[in-house]
Structure 1
Amino acid sequence: MTGAISLHAGWSAHGCAIPCAARRPRRRITACVVLLCLAMVTPGAACASDWGCQVILCLSNPGGPEQYSECVPPVEKLWSALRHGDPFPACDFGAGGSQGTSAANTFANAGYCREDFLFWGGPEQSELLCRASGAINVDINGQLYTRVWWDVGGPGATLTEFYGADSTQSQYDPTQSATLFLQQTEQGSGPGGGN
């Protein structure tokens, strides 16, 4: 095999995709393992879960879901599907596969957003809105591993939060961001607040 890595439509996630990435404690090692897993995939007949497994593998990358060119087609297909209201694709990890590994999309709004993505918009700038279309939470071994905010400020832009081993990112609850945003707004415009 040459240095090139290829991702085939019929690849198998059994025992490679998520479990190997989840077992590595360091961010650099995880990226290398993801590359290795991508290199080990083999061609075969495509089935419904292949795309879902590809997507979970790519979304679990701390460097972002489209860092590697092999991830671009399945992830771009995902963004298109989600924009059209299609459900998040499923992945069948097979016998003995990745229990506790899952990914789910939540569409973003004022009630589920990053605090720094919130802004006043709508009529007369009176509606609290979110700059992202949604967030995909990837859990590995039952723990949040990455959260990918998609269509941040427009189609195509993403922001990946990494929470795996050796992460310096502090976890937060996106359902509480609006409350924090409003508290800071009140403090900034109240007596002695400066506005």
Structure 2
Amino acid sequence: MFSLHYISEILPSLLSGTTMTLKIFCWTLIGALPIGMIFGLGLVSKFRPIRYILNFYVWLMRGTPLLLQLIFVFYGLPIVGIVFQRYDAALFAFILNYAAYFAEIFRGGLQSVDRGQYEAAKVLRLSYWQTIRKIVIPQVAKIVLPSIGNEVINLVKDSSLVYVIGIGDLLRAGNVASSRDVTLVPLLLVGIIYLLLTAICTYILRRIEKHFAYWR
């Protein structure tokens, strides 16, 4: 079972599962990051109803397990007539969950920017959105990068949760092969692949942090 021949037999299914894992990872980031940024602006808004609604949303998403949210979206919502396909349910739950975490991270970053920056922007006659885009966002991006990086690494591992709704991701492919052949080799390979994915993400994130280091 530890032979290269066996590994070559199960590797295609593991790589296929890795492709699904990467799709969920990438689309979650693409969806959750901009939503989180917008919600982060809402959390520091002077309009109280928006703040209250978004604070409740963040509290709900961060206070309940992602696994429970995933099960609720796929198995619970059909009870009230809202039906998602497996892949769509996974993306919906993941984007909602990670948008809440990113919103809180951006909120902290926005509140860490000195109020003098806004006052200086007013002196320069910049509009609110010009101030946000040209002055605030570049500073916030550097501040929140380490926290965003931690969530990105967590997302790589959390993507394995889609296994519970029957999506053929990396973990499911490894578990199927392990149960069929009664060996831990597929699961060891799954662990190695996850380690490689997190190593690649860590390297990219460090390069991005180094790029923003010129603001020190």
TM-score with structure 2 length normalisation? 0.24
Larger Rg: 2
TM-score with structure 1 length normalisation? 0.26
Whichever structure has more strand as a proportion of its residues is: 1
Whichever structure has more helix as a proportion of its residues is: 2
Bigger relative contact order (CA 8 A; separation at least 6): 2
